[in-house]
Structure 1
Amino acid sequence: MSDRSRQAVSHGDEMTFSSIRAIALYTTCASALLCGSQALAQGNATGGSGATAVEELIVTAQKREQRTLEVPIALTAYTGDFLDDVGVQEFEELSLLVPGFEVQNQSPNNPGFVMRGITSDDGGATIEPRVSVFQDGVSVSKSRGSYIELFDNARIEVAKGPQSTLFGRSALIGAVNIVQNKADPGGFAASAKFEVGNFNYRGLEAMVNVPLSPTLAVRFASRVKTRDGFVDNLLGGRDFNSTDTAAYRAVVKWRPSDRLEADLILNYEENNPSGTSFKSLTYLPTDTLTGKVLGDLGRNSGAALASSDGFAGGRDLGLERTTWGVTGLVDYRISDTLRLSSISAFRRFKSLEVFDADGFSLPLFVFAEDARGDQYSQEFRINYEGGERLTAFAGVGYFHEDGSQAVPLQYNERVFAARATPALAGLLGFTAPNVPSINTINSAAALSTLKLVHRETFQNYGRTTSYDVFADATYKVTDQFEVSAGIRYSSDDKRSGYRGTLDNGGSVLTSGSAANAANPATARGIFLQSTPGGLPQYKSFSDSGVTYRVVGRYAVSDDISLYATYSRGRRPEVLSPAAPLAPQGNARFTLVAAEIVDSYEAGAKTQWLDRSLSLEGSVYRFTYTNFQTSIQTAPGVFQTISAGDASSTGFEGQLNWRPTGQLNVFGTYGYNNGRFDNGRFKGNSFRLSPDQTLSFGLNFTVPVWEGDLSILPTYTWQSRVFFDNDNDIPALQSTGDLLQDEVQGAYGLLNLRVSYQPTDANWRVEGFVSNLLDEEYIKDAGNTGGAFGIPTFIAGEPRYFGASFSVRY
């Protein structure tokens, strides 16, 4: 791996790349528009047809094409066109329309995926995800590389419950599979969309599909969007929580015969948003030079945050992240009953995020995270599909991942000591300090001996090589009743590593004097100790396990399906690294046992009223053994523990109704009572997991002005949510935090989209607004500052509005 300096990009280089990407996108858009001007008119998909049947979506969750009604699992699937209609561009927006699925987006580098109350968001290189994300069958689940732009997709399938047999690695409690649009040799197609909005929003999206021959085609798609931050930067500079995303895709399709089909897919994305708005509610935002108060203690108001003293090569707060990958899909029909599939992939992500985690303007500390990862994977699968009674698949898989996560920290020892020592709190205007003192500093003279800049870095490494063998079969016992069973065996060889360095000597606070701080043998960090010579140390181990499912499905009729399932999910063992206990000591490694989920579920899927009404619902119960989480044992010091057992009982339902050709009504509801059964957090709710979620929308189309006017409001609501497994209960805090304020109460968001498309035209104009009522809410609370008794809060998006123009050929 290259060092941090290789991530530095000069302003000139940024301008050069921005120019290149803009030229590429505008060229694609121009091509689409020129072709679109020659187009034949396309009718509005939701109006004027007179048809009332709900569109029948074909999915491949069970590795074969099926109607959603025939799939005996809790599955929510949407077409790419529907997601475009309702304005879904990111996972966070998608989750609002999927019962049992939550996505928290602090930044593209730090998402939290939550399935039925179980969260996957840890960025450590050794950590296995609990919720898997796939692009065309390729796992992109590593936390720092999993948040990707959703554009030009055929559909997205979200499967809840343990799905390791069907989806593979780490689908402990659910999986998201993104099926991207492929190139089509059958005909030329192109589209483009331009968007503008408040907060200086600009969005460009384009697609061109070009047949090169009857058997070969290429497809190019892209999306670029920027938006200013919505939280004021009270110290000047870029406002916080901005958007700066560029995503590109190229697909080559080769179909030389009816038996052979191959796709080559290249994806590239970069994100460069401004810093995340970690807002302190303990200290007022002030000017660091004059002490003038600049703002208030509101959770959603302006923040005074900054990097300091040349930290991370002088970078400002914000994120520099790139992800890219190449995937090869080959499908060969051996015979009328046998089909061989191959999925080959390489993927890489690299991200550097700088954040002011204390939440106020004085330079108490500033953090960065430098996360990187490479992965290779190969899967071969053979499907048997031609029998009257039996359908099945079996295969083998290989997965290799090599990653690292470095966290540089910078402290101003004087500010830290004043914050930690009551006798000196007044010197810097602090009140009610609640971080225990590390050392006795009781005079201004003693304070002046401390370092203005102290730096230390910890880094963890993870390498995994895994082999899978899997099989799944469905047998029709009768014409109406079928049973399915699947099993997957995984074997992992793993290596974990740790490195700790004191980047400019030890801390005077902890080493006792400047002389001791400069001596590598005795120098101590504030929160970590260095490994021998500042070099990484490694330890290897092996792990293996089995996951499985058993399903029964009864087709009452072609339009009514009942099912029941039992499935087991497994999160592999990990070797968790930690800092030495003394300077130049050996790193510590703790084996964290595998987590096991046993899930029981029953559901029904139906279509009524000449298939104009689709209803689905399921009830479930799962038990979780050896739930792993982190607790704070001292300010800034964490330890991985088993929180014991946990369980959840829930219900998920969804409907889609088209009473007329001009009206489509859709909605979802989810209830999840997830609680810890014993241990430290007994009775607590799972973090990031509301007990209830609701979404509702309708698309109403009326003929006006020689065209169609479509009005599409959507409303989403969720109940109270906690941001940590301790539920911010004062008795469970080690920092003396006596307020239970790290919680978001119930709230709802109303969105509205209004579009107009003329008859016999290929263009459309649209106006849109999200969070129409400008509801104030927070995405997260506690965060790194919470480890020091000064929790921070991250605001949710305010009212966004804008307009778009699109053309399609």
Structure 2
Amino acid sequence: MWRAEVQLYPFSLYRLDFSPRIFSTLAFSTLILCVPFIAQGQVTSSEQELEVIQVTAQKRLQNTQEVGISLAVLSGDDIEVLQLTNTVDISQQIPNLQLNTWSPNLTIFNLRGISQNNFTDNLEAPIAVYFDDAYYANLNSISNQLFDLQRVEVLRGPQSTLFGRNATGGVIQYVTTGADVDELNGYLKIGGGQFNQQYMELASGVALTDHARGRIALKRAKSDGYIVAAQPGIRNIGGDNALAVRTSLQFDLTDDTQLNLKYSYSKDDDVPTGGYSFLPWTQAEIEQTYLPPELVAFTQNVILEGGAPPNDLSINDFTKQVFFNTDDGFTPVDQAGLTLYKGDSAEPHTHYSNINGYLNRTIQSLTAKITAQLNDRWYIESISHLQELDKAYLEDGDGIPAPIIAFQTETDYRQASQELRLDYRHDNTRLLLGAYLLDTQQEGAITTIGNPVLRLARQLQADGLIRESYNPDESSPKAVQTYNLAAQNHALFAHWEQRLSAQFEVVTGLRWSQDEKQMDYRRGFADESAQIDFIQQAFLIPSQPDGKINYQDYSAKLQFNWQPARKQLYYLSYNRGIKVGNWAMSAGLPIEEMQHKPETLHAYEAGLKLDVSPRFRVNASTFLYDYRDYQAFAMIGLAPQITNSDANISGAELELTYLATESLSIDLGLAHLHSQLDKVDAVASWQSPVGGTVIDFPRDTLTNVTLPNTPEFSLNYALNYQTPLWSGLLISQLDGVYYDDQYLEVTNGGGAFQDAYHVVNFKLTYRVANDALSFSVYGKNVTDEVYKQYNLDLGMLGSTSYYAPPASYGVSVHYQW
């Protein structure tokens, strides 16, 4: 049963109980109620109408309501009124889009249940992210400052034919404001809020000559962390310290040829991050815990030396008392080695780390786009892109004031891509032919310090590679991994739209894709504090069978559109999406198990888009996904690993937009998801710090689990009311999102469980008479809802969570010209 609490805080509280049947009935009834509106005649031209946004979902500008794809768009005005400040903030107002993040270091979008939750720097996401027609392949480059943006497009479902082999789950496109206006224009925005938040945005554009225009935009953002440090000398985390600059130039080379250049630079400097909240447990979990016989034997033979437990306790109860107490014991787990506790931390916004984590990151990119009209039917576009990224990150992985786990990554990433498109448009036919090349080079290092390395240290001691007197428990053992990954992708694609009659259109697409990847990998051990230099344990080079990937496959699209009347569209589609394999590097995995296979998604979808009146819009879609070899992330033996397994997902979205009056607009989104993964490996075995005892859990495999971030139901809403006040305009915005129960990890352990939650935001803006100057006050999460943005289940070592910000408030001043 789904309970949605729509809280117009603080005035009233409405509770709505929905079952799947009621949800379906509501969606169907909404469509039936549209019929009278469709039958109405045209309104007068003076009546206010819904905004029409142009998108490039099919690589050309089109009205959103004329594109047979389930998509959502946030305009620049939407971004401003929703007070979105970062590229990852968009998820609350996009049905079936969620976010998994614990730092700007790495951002994982989840669209219709499709994501990649592994935190290894070299992996690519199944949700393709584009900035101004350029694909951003690296997960480290996605999270960035949001400013001077024209719109954000979110395309749900496989888009692999036009956007490439990693657009399995969909595409997110950020379109920045270009240098396309001759008149002087721009804006200045200054704001601040709680946690010492301060930011400034500035953008301006103007014609440089009769045939050239320029624009420059920048943002500076700084804030202290909202997660308070409990240890002296340790700083708060969850803060910000960023600078972003973007320059754009547009040249009219001829009457029919245009060149657009965009350069962007961003720097995150010593951002306070890299800590977690350690989840507790209660006596109830201790009573339910799986009691490893290996610990029982250790208690009997070592602690009791063969004697009887005190206080007439049984050996099992005494073992629980020793190893699973609530003060300093192991975390209670089930037979798969996963945590049992499903609740939240008592101090979600406090961290007890003993390490000052940080993020240092610099990203530079350059995009050159040439557009030429060859004649009245043929167009050609060339998009060239270069990107450089350098990152260093350190975190305290355990969330407690003890040197259990520290995790450090460094990466140096370079990307070059070239896309060439030839576009034919005439009468009822549109044909797009294209070629694409992507070349990436990445060097990096992964260092794990602490408890997970003890097993490796003792093994090296047993092999005679480390002196017998070395005690890793009293030192800083490190598992060190270095890698050099070279990857190339070549693709040819075609997209054909053919109108068969005034009402019917068929859309087809096909893309051939080839990937070549080569991995040079080194793994070893070091401990500088004990004067132990790097000891190589294993390696992988391209000449080995597991050291390279040669992959060829195709993506395909077949779609039928029916437009029985103006502003009515019904569509039915099939898409085949593909995602290439990769390596999930881990110090605890055999070399031959690091590589995972590619995945394939067969997607079946039906939808409609109706402007039932100039004031009322209905968009709805339903889908069925058949997933082959889904790349599932799990902590196997407490080492991160990806394995392949089949899965299925089904769901629906219903989006309503209504101009209730000249002053009031209402946006509502409803979403449903059901997911199931056939199987995923669990912890299996783990070497505990109790005398090196290896614990073998009886349940090695989990079956029929739920995919991460797939709540059965979710709801988002936004109400905007504008009223004249004095000589200006007062704009009131109330928005929010509700998510049903969900898991944040595919293993579905207790720590990964997220209870249903509801986030409410507001913004009040006063705009003076000339529309140039405005003043705003805003609140985010004003009901102070506690919910996780990320969780990592470490079995008997506990669950570490990262919580979203608490209630916060701020003000801003905006001036535009």
TM norm structure 2: 0.79
Match of residue 659 from structure 1 = 660
Match of residue 443 from structure 2 = 404
Quick one: which of 243, 246, 249 aligns to 2:243? 246
Q: Which amino acid aligns with 1:540?
A: K
TM superposition shift of 1:751: 0.3
Q: Which amino acid aligns with 2:783?
A: L
Residues 662 and 630 from structure 1, CA distance in 2 versus in 1: closer, same or farther, beyond 3 angstroms?
closer
For the pair 1:465 / 2:488, whether they are aligned, the reply is: yes
Give the 5 Å matches for 1:356-395. Answer: 356-385=396-425, 387-395=426-434
CA distance in 1: counterparts of 2:774 and 2:229, whole angstroms: 37
Write the deviation string for residues 383-434 of structure 1: whole angstroms up to 9, x where unpaired. 112x111011011111001113321122279x979xx99xxxxxxxxxxxxx
Write the deviation string for residues 60-115 of structure 1: whole angstroms up to 9, x where unpaired. 11112211111001011121122112112224321111112112221111211111
CA distance in 2: counterparts of 1:594 and 1:743, whole angstroms: 28
Residues 300 and 530 from structure 1, CA distance in 2 versus in 1: closer, same or farther, beyond 3 angstroms?
same
CA distance in 2: counterparts of 1:621 and 1:518, whole angstroms: 55
Contact 1:221 1:250 in 2 (8 A): yes
Contact 1:580 1:588 in 2 (8 A): no
Quick one: which of 73, 76, 97 aligns to 2:72? 76
Match of residue 333 from structure 1 = 373
Residues 449 and 554 from structure 1, CA distance in 2 versus in 1: closer, same or farther, beyond 3 angstroms?
closer
Q: Which amino acid aligns with 1:277?
A: G
Compare the two structures and name the one with the higher strand fraction.
2
CA distance in 1: counterparts of 2:642 and 2:789, whole angstroms: 24
CA distance in 2: counterparts of 1:632 and 1:201, whole angstroms: 36
Contact 1:697 1:714 in 2 (8 A): yes
Contact 1:622 1:648 in 2 (8 A): yes
Write the deviation string for residues 115-160 of structure 1: whole angstroms up to 9, x where unpaired. 1101134343553321110012211131112222222121111101
Residues 188 and 492 from structure 1, CA distance in 2 versus in 1: closer, same or farther, beyond 3 angstroms?
same
Match of residue 552 from structure 2 = 544
Q: Which amino acid aligns with 1:653?
A: L
Contact 2:397 2:406 in 1 (8 A): yes
For the pair 1:67 / 2:63, whether they are aligned, the reply is: yes
TM superposition shift of 1:197: 1.0
For the pair 1:213 / 2:209, whether they are aligned, the reply is: yes
Q: SS state of the match for residue 473, structure 1?
A: strand
Q: SS state of the match for residue 79, structure 2?
A: helix
Residues 681 and 390 from structure 1, CA distance in 2 versus in 1: closer, same or farther, beyond 3 angstroms?
farther
Quick one: which of 632, 642, 651 aligns to 1:629? 632
Match of residue 672 from structure 1 = 673
Match of residue 776 from structure 2 = 766
Contact 1:390 1:474 in 2 (8 A): yes
CA distance in 2: counterparts of 1:409 and 1:590, whole angstroms: 17
Residues 299 and 766 from structure 1, CA distance in 2 versus in 1: closer, same or farther, beyond 3 angstroms?
same
Quick one: which of 154, 175, 186 aligns to 1:190? 186
Match of residue 511 from structure 1 = none
TM superposition shift of 1:579: 5.4
Contact 2:91 2:98 in 1 (8 A): yes
Q: Which amino acid aligns with 2:242?
A: T
Residues 671 and 489 from structure 1, CA distance in 2 versus in 1: closer, same or farther, beyond 3 angstroms?
same
For the pair 1:699 / 2:720, whether they are aligned, the reply is: yes
Match of residue 15 from structure 1 = none
For the pair 1:722 / 2:743, whether they are aligned, the reply is: yes
Q: Which amino acid aligns with 1:280?
A: F
Contact 1:115 1:160 in 2 (8 A): yes
TM norm structure 1: 0.80
Match of residue 304 from structure 1 = 352
Contact 1:113 1:119 in 2 (8 A): yes
Q: SS state of the match for residue 150, structure 1?
A: coil
Q: SS state of the match for residue 645, structure 1?
A: strand
CA distance in 2: counterparts of 1:518 and 1:806, whole angstroms: 57
Residues 536 and 597 from structure 1, CA distance in 2 versus in 1: closer, same or farther, beyond 3 angstroms?
closer
Work out the percentage of aligned pairs sharing the same amino acid.
Answer: 22
Residues 79 and 107 from structure 1, CA distance in 2 versus in 1: closer, same or farther, beyond 3 angstroms?
same
Match of residue 390 from structure 2 = 350
Contact 2:523 2:538 in 1 (8 A): yes
Task: Count how many residue pairs are aligned between Structure 1 and Structure 2.
Answer: 684
TM superposition shift of 1:446: 9.6
TM superposition shift of 1:778: 1.5
Residues 493 and 782 from structure 1, CA distance in 2 versus in 1: closer, same or farther, beyond 3 angstroms?
closer
Give the 5 Å matches for 1:583-602. Answer: 587-588=591-592, 591-602=595-606
CA distance in 2: counterparts of 1:653 and 1:230, whole angstroms: 35
For the pair 1:807 / 2:803, whether they are aligned, the reply is: no
CA distance in 2: counterparts of 1:449 and 1:163, whole angstroms: 50
Contact 1:498 1:578 in 2 (8 A): no
Moved more, 360-369 or 394-403: 360-369
Quick one: which of 251, 254, 259 aligns to 1:262? 259
Match of residue 311 from structure 1 = none
Write the deviation string for residues 148-180 of structure 1: whole angstroms up to 9, x where unpaired. 222212111110111011222410110111111
CA distance in 1: counterparts of 2:484 and 2:347, whole angstroms: 35
Give the 5 Å matches for 1:370-769. Answer: 370-385=410-425, 387-411=426-450, 450-504=473-527, 529-531=537-539, 539-574=547-582, 587-588=591-592, 591-609=595-613, 611-634=614-637, 636-642=638-644, 644-677=645-678, 680-728=701-749, 740-769=750-779
Match of residue 156 from structure 2 = 160
CA distance in 1: counterparts of 2:196 and 2:527, whole angstroms: 42
Write the deviation string for residues 29-61 of structure 1: whole angstroms up to 9, x where unpaired. xxxxxxxxxxxxxxxxxxxx9752001111111
TM superposition shift of 1:503: 2.4
Q: SS state of the match for residue 81, structure 1?
A: helix
TM superposition shift of 1:228: 1.1
Quick one: which of 229, 234, 245 aligns to 1:233? 229
Contact 1:389 1:475 in 2 (8 A): yes
CA distance in 2: counterparts of 1:660 and 1:622, whole angstroms: 39
Q: SS state of the match for residue 764, structure 2?
A: strand
Write the deviation string for residues 692-720 of structure 1: whole angstroms up to 9, x where unpaired. 22111111011111111110010111111
Which ranges of structure 2 fall in alignment gaps of 5 or more residues?
1-44, 282-325, 329-343, 463-467, 681-700
CA distance in 2: counterparts of 1:753 and 1:559, whole angstroms: 32
CA distance in 2: counterparts of 1:74 and 1:301, whole angstroms: 37
Contact 1:474 1:483 in 2 (8 A): yes
TM superposition shift of 1:788: 5.5
CA distance in 2: counterparts of 1:108 and 1:532, whole angstroms: 30
CA distance in 1: counterparts of 2:811 and 2:227, whole angstroms: 22
Match of residue 684 from structure 2 = none
Residues 242 and 377 from structure 1, CA distance in 2 versus in 1: closer, same or farther, beyond 3 angstroms?
same
Residues 503 and 485 from structure 1, CA distance in 2 versus in 1: closer, same or farther, beyond 3 angstroms?
same
CA distance in 1: counterparts of 2:650 and 2:472, whole angstroms: 58
TM superposition shift of 1:242: 0.9
Residues 673 and 97 from structure 1, CA distance in 2 versus in 1: closer, same or farther, beyond 3 angstroms?
same
Q: Which amino acid aligns with 1:268?
A: Y
Moved more, 88-97 or 264-273: 88-97
Contact 1:497 1:537 in 2 (8 A): no
Which ranges of structure 1 fall in alignment gaps of 5 or more residues?
1-48, 287-295, 308-315, 422-437, 440-444, 508-513, 729-739
For the pair 1:322 / 2:362, whether they are aligned, the reply is: yes
Contact 2:586 2:640 in 1 (8 A): no
CA distance in 1: counterparts of 2:347 and 2:247, whole angstroms: 42
Moved more, 298-307 or 645-654: 298-307
Q: SS state of the match for residue 556, structure 1?
A: coil
